[in-house]
Amino acid sequence: MEPTTLLTASNIITAYDQSTILWGVNLSVLQGTVTTVMGRNGVGKTTLLKTIMGLQKAREGQVTFKGEHITNLAPYKIARAGIGYVPQGREIIPKLTVQENLQLGLEATPDYKPRMAEEEIYTLFPILKEFRRRAGGNLSGGQQQQLAIARTLISGPALLLLDEPTEGLQPSIAIEIGDILRQLVTTKGMAVLLVEQKIDFAKHVTDYFYFMERGKMVKEGNAATFDFNELQEHIAV
Ligand SMILES: Nc1ncnc2c1ncn2[C@@H]1O[C@H](COP(=O)(O)OP(=O)(O)OP(=O)(O)O)[C@@H](O)[C@H]1O
């Protein structure tokens, strides 16, 4: 059976005032896969995630999710449709406890009820259970990243958008995060759209790659056949 396409972005053009950042981006994400967008700083990766999430308006083009047009809908409507966004920098609330931070994710649901049970989340992230009464600000970087992902999972998204989740983390901690992402796609059938700069980490988790340069996808392919040497040259500079 052909895997279902969950998300499609077609010919997306996004600009900040006079400055155009995305110049006709095309991308799709299949259910049960991790899709990764790589590219140097400033090429527009974050802008792409924000456009998908409705946080930045697309001037042209369309975003389709589960067959429905969601282009430029209010972010809360996009969240309720089933897309979870874990922004760069995690954005957890340092003074709130782990459990309280987790519950903030319920704002993405219409009835404030979890779509993934807290216990199930704590099974995926045992350290969060152990530290559930600690202030979020007292967690390590890797634990804060786990919390940011967990907070998004509580609303039961079908697609998770992740912006550089391994930034500032040691490789071993990054791999732990990667293993959790793989678990979500293989056991829950979720899809992940990842923005990443670290090739080793990306290779570990990714099924399908896109490579972006100056607001456009210039290369794409299956992880198994993707030419990473070429990619490395582009990214390393
Ligand atoms: N709110 C904004 N207003 C104006 N320009 C912006 C804004 N946000 C980002 N930009 C510009 O848009 C371009 C693309 O930024 P974006 O954050 O999407 O890139 P990126 O590929 O995610 O890079 P990084 O890895 O550094 O986050 C950059 O030149 C940036 O300066």
With 50 as the cut, is the pLDDT of residue 176 above it? yes
Chain centroid offset of residue 223 CA: 18
pLDDT, tens only, 107-120: 888 888 888 888 99
The reported pLDDT for the residue numbered 3 is 77
Determine the pLDDT at residue 237: 47
Q: What range defines the domain where residue 126 resides? A: 5-236
pLDDT in tens, 206-222: 999 999 999 999 999 99
Cα–Cα distance, 166 to 227 (Å, whole number): 22
How far away, in angstroms, is 55 Cα from ligand 1 center?
Answer: 13
39-92 per-position pLDDT tens digit: 999 999 999 999 999 999 999 999 999 999 999 999 999 999 999 999 998 788
Rg of the Cα trace of the chain? 17
Give one DSSP letter per residue of 100-153, joined into a string.
HHHHHGGGGSSSS--SS-HHHHHHH-HHHHHTTTSBGGGS-HHHHHHHHHHHHH
Distance 49 CA to ligand 1 centre (A): 11
Q: What is the mean pLDDT of residues 22-44?
A: 96
ipTM of the complex: 0.93
The reply to whether ligand 1 has any atom less than 6 angstroms from the CB of 42 is yes
Cβ atoms of residues 101 and 136 within 8 Å: yes
Q: Are 29 and 7 in contact (CB under 8 A)?
A: yes
Two structure tokens written together for 172: 């071993």
pLDDT in tens, 224-236: 888 777 776 666 5
pLDDT of residue 90: 78
**Domain count across the chain:** 1
pLDDT band at 148 (very low <50, low <70, confident <90, very high): very high
For strands 208-213 and 216-222, give the pairing: antiparallel
Give me the amino acid identity at 152: T
41 lines ligand 1 (CB under 6 A): yes
Kindly give the distance from the C-alpha atom of residue 101 to the centroid of ligand 1, in angstroms, as a whole number. Answer: 27
DSSP assigned state of 44: S
18 lines ligand 1 (CB under 6 A): no
Q: What is the pLDDT of residue 23?
A: 97
Mean pLDDT of all residues belonging to the chain = 92
The CATH number given to whatever domain includes residue 59 is 3.40.50.300
CA of 224 to the centre of ligand 1 (A): 30
Q: CB of 46 closer than 6 A to ligand 1?
A: yes
pLDDT score of 75: 96
